Chains A and B, each alone.
Chain A
Amino acid sequence: MYAVRMENITKRFGNVVANDEVCFAARPGEIHCLLGENGAGKSTLMRILFGLYSADSGSIYVNDQPARIAGPRDAISLGIGMVHQHFMLAERLTVAENIVAGREPKKDGLLDYDRARRQVREVSERYGLEVDPDARVEEISVGQQQRVEIIKALMRGARTLILDEPTAVLTPPEVDELFVVMRALRESGTTIVFITHKLKETMEISDRVTVLRDGKTIGTVDTSGATPDGLVEMMVGRSLPAHDDQRMPPGETVLLELRDVSMAGRKGGRARLDGVSLAVRSGEVLGIAGVDGNGQLELEEVVTGLRRPSKGRVTLIGQNVTGLGTGRIRDRGVAYIPSDRLKRGMVDSFSLARNSVLGMHHCSDFSRHGVPRENALCEHAQGIVAKYDVRAESIDQPMGSLSGGNQQKMLVGRELARPHSVVIAAQPTRGLDVGATHYIREQILASRNSGKAVLLISAELDEILELSDRIAVIYEGQIVDVRPTGSFTERELGLLMTGQREGV
């Protein structure tokens, strides 16, 4: 017997086949991972199950009964709930109000708030999902907001719960808490479909795994019988070689140094950066670990001159560059992969060719007497496309028409192609699939091994651990610890990242 079963599901968007005869089945009371790279069709499949999309063909069974799901309403009445990557909560309302929205307990035509609160308490206690029903959603953490979404689904009677990349927005300790909740739900007989592209989590939490690739089912395996390498091969279609880990020891020359750099916050608020001092040497990757929003963006932009520090000094290759404009700083040899690629890194309506020289367009290689050298531009763009395996029809197509992963490859290619001695890599693999991530990390390591100084800012702890020679932990704009990578345990980092110094 299966809690849900989807057979030969096909879904097309225009010419793109998002799901191609996909089969998927989850047993009651199991945690079933839906694993695959970005664009493999995982979310599409689950959106079909939840009634957000309708399949072009194929059939769905719930508890072995054929089911017609025309919209979320049908799905909910069949006991299917979904927690989306982007939460659908009203920020200004309280937790209880959000949870009962749409099926409010009423008294005299008004919301019976006491009853709503009681209902929320009841569910939250039954599954060990702690929330404060009276807190406003805008005041609680992302992890708690996710819990609110889960309670919402459970209160609508969900027996099968779809979690769409739930860990993408969580800090490591929050992930642990989520897993505790997921196990408790499994104990109570809830079926969980867990969408992810992260292997470690899959291995840790799931009972069975279904792998999708390019919109097709590759197979379903028991987690206990699976290996991470085997799963990667199913996801990517080939095995990934390990990173070439013959690391040269870092050099001695300090190429990038920040001394006591601060940036004032909004009036009355705390400083965004508070006395940050760091030094990155040639041939070294310094990783900045931290929960998003603790000053990483400010750090990235202060170093590259997009913002001015209110105090302190930035030194680049022995020269003070504090307060110089971005163009002048970058011309001294800074390759910069910005964290927000859509906003900062590209002009999406410009062609690949034009984007491939952004920031170098005025250099003599690419322009002469104020006129761009179109041939040089095209050659340069072709070079990046070929070297980084960018999937593009032509270098004349607009950058915005590429997928996120290919945009990022283009961008990383551009930055590492410019003459540089320092690399600022902010969230270099955010949102990318395993293959692209692997490749970009390799390029960053190659840059390091050729003697560049790399400042790596990433919210992915795994990435920091894998690439960094040293790690600096940032919390509320302060560097709370800097040490060689090997001397941290993951637990320690998790605690430091969330501002807990005790127990470290």
Chain B
Amino acid sequence: MTTTKKLRTALLLGIPAAMFLAYTAPTIAHHAFGAEFDRNAPIKLQGKIVKLEWVNPHTWIHLEITTEERLGEVWAVEGGTPNVLLRRGLRRDCLTPGTEIIVDGYQTKNHALKRANGRDVTFTDGGKIFMGSSGTGAPDEAADRKRAYEKGRC
């Protein structure tokens, strides 16, 4: 890796490497996904939405599995915060009950809960449900987001 590449990567990653890591506590987000989900329990789910909890701090999508494996089970999938999703023009009425989706992620550490995080949440054709950036408040971005919201994204 060239020096330029290293420097660029260091800043892109938001971290002056070792010195920053020395100051990094293990729990640095609203909640540590690492404490909640089991990285040794990956899962892929496909099913129809039966309930959407558009709640803080994070959304939860409940789906009834439609595949042979786990058929009929109801799983809950953790998603992004409603504030972030709303700024991307995604409203709670975008995801109506009955919509079939595919989720891949990791199960909670307590596997009995039938809960997982939504690492990748898509429609059945692979198109993303959640995506994009709501930016930094720069005027051009704000106006663009406002238009997207007013038009609705669903």
Do these two chains interact?
A: no
